[in-house]
Amino acid sequence: MAVLLKELMMQTTALGDDGVQTVRYWLYAPGEGAWMWDTFRERGVMGLAWGDLGDLTACASKHDVQQRMLEAFPSHGSQRNDILAAWQFVSEMKPGDVVFAKKGRSEVIGRGVVMGEYVYDEGWNQFPHIRPVDWTHVGNWSIDRTLALKTLTDITYDQELVKRIEASVLDGEDSADIEEPTVVFPEYSADDFLTSVYMDRERYDAIVGLLKTKKNIILQGAPGVGKTFVAKRLAYSMMGVKDVSRVKLVQFHQSYSYEDFIEGYRPCGAGFELVKGAFYSFCKKAADDEENDYFFIIDEINRGNLSKIFGELFMLIEADKRGNELQLLYSRELFSVPTNVHIIGMMNTADRSLAMLDYALRRRFAFVELHPAFDSDGFREYCSGLDNPRFEALVREVESLNRAIAEDESLGEGFCIGHSYFCNMKPETCTDSALASIVEYELIPMLKEYWFDEPGKVREWTDRLRRSLR
């Protein structure tokens, strides 16, 4: 059973941070009708067909896989699902990931842990694309959810489905037989935050203080000031570690609803079932771990219908109302927001198509303005390390552009261009073509939107940005 939980290996997460550990969960069909299951199980592998594709190790992108698939099977249409499955099998699946073998659309027949990297083995005839797997559980478990038809499906973020399958497969396990994994999360301190985020200590302390007392803050600012980057690292610094299990990132949009956020009925095979939403599940998880802080991050918070999304939680998210209970709309369950849950929202101040937050929600958040940090000590040090005169000239021109934007009565400081467009470069990647790409495909289109009715200004600043690179 020790092998059962060899599941926490290094892997880049959806939050996109190096050095963070997590496990991905996969739903897998071992051949049509699971006809290869016995062979795969006995030999400790999982495999994919499509032998005509050859060894996929050399494929550097999904596009490369697509080209091979279209060349090998030109009459099979777009083959979008097959292309994605092949790419994920080769490049995204990692040792330590959990695989659920399925039969049909409602039955799980095995659970395993991926034990090695992808290999191409012509000896497997129809299934030459192979990964070694430790099949820890074998049986027949009926799942009360309609499972995807695809050969390989990433179900990591369908937490409800993962929980259902795990509960079925692991039901009755003697906990004494299960070796709990030791997870070592990378440490992350306030000093680490200040090193990676161009912000002084005083401002950092002020933001942390706000988040501890108010519980809810909104980071607002112009495009490219690094709101998401700051939000994640603010959470990590307050936790002291990069523990992504205690950080949840969602994005609001016009169709996002109370049902997505808290709970609601969803179609299922038998009709409808009550499904818990992202915030509800996160709060329940935090409530079971009161000693640790949890951070719920909402990108584009002003894009959703906030009154509809938060519903009765309008009151419960207030700092002095934490722990108080209200009855939920659908389940009638008494629910409270734990004191160890912190909410970080993000707003783009340059999005003119959106209405501001209503007052009822606004007064429940503290608002923190983030500005371009070109003049910060951290950015200047970063700029010096690149030692690129064209980079420095472009940055100076952007600073001049920002002054013009700030002084423009139709725009203002909320439309200034942020420093993150120029971050994460190294001396070897800070090339003329890379800088030109930023100007042509990111900055100039933005200026055309800002000054859509003033083409003269667009031409002036387009010329100035381009000249800075000569």
pLDDT in tens, 235-263: 999 999 888 778 998 999 889 999 999 99
Q: Give the angle subtended at the CA of 293 by the CAs of 277 and 228, to the nearest 5°.
A: 70
* Count of Cβ atoms closer than 10 Å to residue 465 Cβ: 23
pLDDT at residue 178 in the model: 43
| Residues pairing with 276 in the sheet | 263
With beta carbons less than 8 A apart as the criterion, state whether 347 and 338 touch.
Answer: no
> Position 361: which residue type?
L
pLDDT at residue 21 in the model: 52
Q: Given a cut of 50, is residue 146 above it in pLDDT?
A: yes
For residue 395, how many C-alpha atoms fall within 13 Å in the half-sphere facing its CB?
23
Q: Given a cut of 80, is residue 276 above it in pLDDT?
A: yes
Mean pLDDT on 351-359: 59
What's the CA gap between 367 and 295, in Å, rounded? 17
Cα Rg of the chain (Å, integer): 25
pLDDT in tens, 368-394: 999 999 998 889 999 999 999 999 999
- For the four alpha carbons of 123, 127, 133 and 139, in that order, the dihedral sign comes to negative
pLDDT level of residue 400 (50, 70, 90 thresholds):
very high
pLDDT at residue 470 in the model: 87
End-to-end Cα spacing for the chain: 63
Q: What is the 3 state secondary structure string of 77-133?
A: CCCHHHHHHHHHHHHHCCCCCEEEEEECCCEEEEEEEECCCCEECHHHCCCCEEEEE
Domains located in the chain, CATH noted? 2-177 (3.10.590.10), 190-370 (3.40.50.300), 377-467 (no CATH)
pLDDT level of residue 102 (50, 70, 90 thresholds):
very high
Q: Given a cut of 60, is residue 3 above it in pLDDT?
A: no
Q: Report which of residues 200 and 360 the model is more confident about.
A: 200
* Residue 348: Cβ-neighbour burial (10 angstroms; 0-12, 13-18, 19+): buried
User: Per the confidence metrics, is the pTM higher than 0.75?
Assistant: no
What Cα–Cα distance (Å) separates residue 381 from each residue in 196, 385, 435? 12, 6, 19
pLDDT at residue 465 in the model: 96
For strand 25-28 and strand 98-103, is the pairing parallel, antiparallel, or unpaired? parallel
Mean pLDDT score of the chain: 86
Ramachandran bin of 214, using left for φ above 0, alpha for ψ from -120 to 50, beta for the remaining angles: alpha
pLDDT level of residue 18 (50, 70, 90 thresholds):
low
pLDDT level of residue 2 (50, 70, 90 thresholds):
very low
pLDDT level of residue 13 (50, 70, 90 thresholds):
very low
Q: Which of 64-73, 75-84, 350-359 has the lowest mean pLDDT?
A: 350-359
